[in-house]
Amino acid sequence: MASPNNNKSKNQLVSTMIKQGFISNPYLSPSPSPPRTSNPPSPIQIPTRPSNPSPTLFEMMSEEQTRESKHSLESRYRTQERVSRVLADAPFPAVGDVRLTIAARDGFKVSMDVHRIVLVGRSRFFAEKLQRNGSHSVEILDCDDVEVYVETLVLMYCDDLKKRLMGENVNKVLGLLKISSAIMFDDGVLACLEYLEAVPWSQQEEEKVVSHLSQLKLPDSAADILQRLVAEPSTSSRSDDILQRLLTGVLHAKDDKARKEMKKVISRLLRENTNSSSHESNLDISRDTLYHFCHRCLTSLILSLSEATSVDDNRQQDRGVLMGEIAREADNLQWLVDILIDRKMGDEFVKLWAEQKELSILHSKIPTMYRHEISKITAQLCVAIGRGNLLVPKDVRYCLLSTWLESLYDDFGWMKRAGRSIDKKLVEEGLGQTILTLPLAQQQTILLNWFDRFLNKGDDCPNIQRAFEVWWRRSFVKQYRVDSQLQLAIFDYTE
């Protein structure tokens, strides 16, 4: 039978074995309480072996294991150093009545003497576990991050939690928030939430904040943090109106540099939204809105061209203003066409552009140096058709080339020289592929006309030689004939 003194000693030593997440495990027994020391453990010595110029397979495997072990030991030593620095600045007063040990999965552990009155007063979890007065021994096992556990404990001793968190990074505070929530350290949770609400986040930190807040059971004040990310329903439902306002502002901007810069920004953001598959976006812009702006630009372009052709030589200043307006509206249309193609809404514009006979006639009456921006629109459409990004009937494709191909030929030299926005090879490839989508007889008409033109203009004419060779082989080398049963017969004249 145990003596009364032994029973009293056992009653004074209460061991609570706690897994990560602070789940009680009554089947584990406490480890002996090591003596308290203020000095950090000595650095861990990592064994090394001399290198072998011709190692065997066994030696190579052993070397790999040694490297892994060395990396693990170095990582543990770095953690040990960080924990030692935290404890060196810890505001722990006199010797405590709770022996608290925090252990990581890799076996690293740290023990400290803390105070029941602090744990019970700040944490509802410890208030439940440490109800009896006297000495206690507590172990927290399988911790993800021993350093964060220790820092959370230190935070419980602080009066001004907000001041303590100043200067910390978002990732560290998210770790403190997780542990504070697990041990029901309410003041710590509120302090972490106030910090997160007030500081800026990087994009990577933003995703972590959302992930942590969605996993933890937090007070209603956590919703305030997400207000910078979550729009009110009334705001998100007006996305088309907002985008319409932005497009209007860009298209009518007075500063050309700012207009071009914001075009790039909005195009990039719309493209990111279109390509995003991680979540359903509230952002949307309707086809009708985009085509409304296209029609406005076309009307303005026709009006400017009409005025420019009627201005006499005595009004050169007015003519210069009109030419600037032409280039501006053509640039606006190029931007809108890019958006339409990115959003897979450009098929209707191909037909619209192909039908601009009046605009094409006016275009031919303006000096090339002022009108070549208009031909870039045709080049855009040919590149998209050649890549399969625009699917339009063959009569529309032929109408497009019939209306604008001569203009593209005339302006090609200026298009190459006037700016860096045109990729010569890309345009030539797109134009050639567009021609090759037409019936063979139409290919022949277009490519024979190109042949004569290229011989006279050289580099000032698009070089679609590859398309010419494909047409030649289709016509004279390997011919396909279709009988009434839609069966193909191949006649190869190379044999």
What pTM value is reported for the model?
0.68
- What is the pLDDT, as a whole number, of residue 319? 76
Query: How many CB atoms are located within 10 Å of the residue 214 CB?
Result: 10
Cβ contacts of residue 223 below 8 Å, gap of 6+? none
Cβ contacts of residue 248 below 8 Å, gap of 6+? 293
Phi, psi angles (nearest 5°) of residue 109: -145, 155
Cβ contacts of residue 295 below 8 Å, gap of 6+? none
The ranges of the chain annotated as CATH 3.30.710.10 are 10-228
* Number of alpha carbons in the 13 Å side-chain half-sphere of residue 473: 7
What's the CA gap between 470 and 425, in Å, rounded?
17
- What is the pLDDT, as a whole number, of residue 337? 97
- What is the pLDDT, as a whole number, of residue 25? 36
Amino acid at 10: K
Bridge partner list, 14: 136
Which one of 15-24, 131-140, 239-248, 466-475 scores highest in mean pLDDT? 466-475
| pLDDT beyond 80 at 459 | yes
Task: Decide: 389 and 431 in contact? Cβ < 8 Å.
Answer: no
Mean of pLDDT values over 46-70: 60
Task: Decide: 369 and 326 in contact? Cβ < 8 Å.
Answer: no
Average pLDDT of the chain to the nearest whole number: 81
Task: Decide: 98 and 138 in contact? Cβ < 8 Å.
Answer: yes
- What is the pLDDT, as a whole number, of residue 227? 84
CATH top class, domain 10-228: alpha beta
Mean of pLDDT values over 340-348: 94
- What is the pLDDT, as a whole number, of residue 420? 65
Task: Decide: 186 and 152 in contact? Cβ < 8 Å.
Answer: no
| pLDDT beyond 50 at 469 | yes
- What is the pLDDT, as a whole number, of residue 296? 95
Task: Decide: 225 and 196 in contact? Cβ < 8 Å.
Answer: yes
| pLDDT beyond 60 at 477 | yes
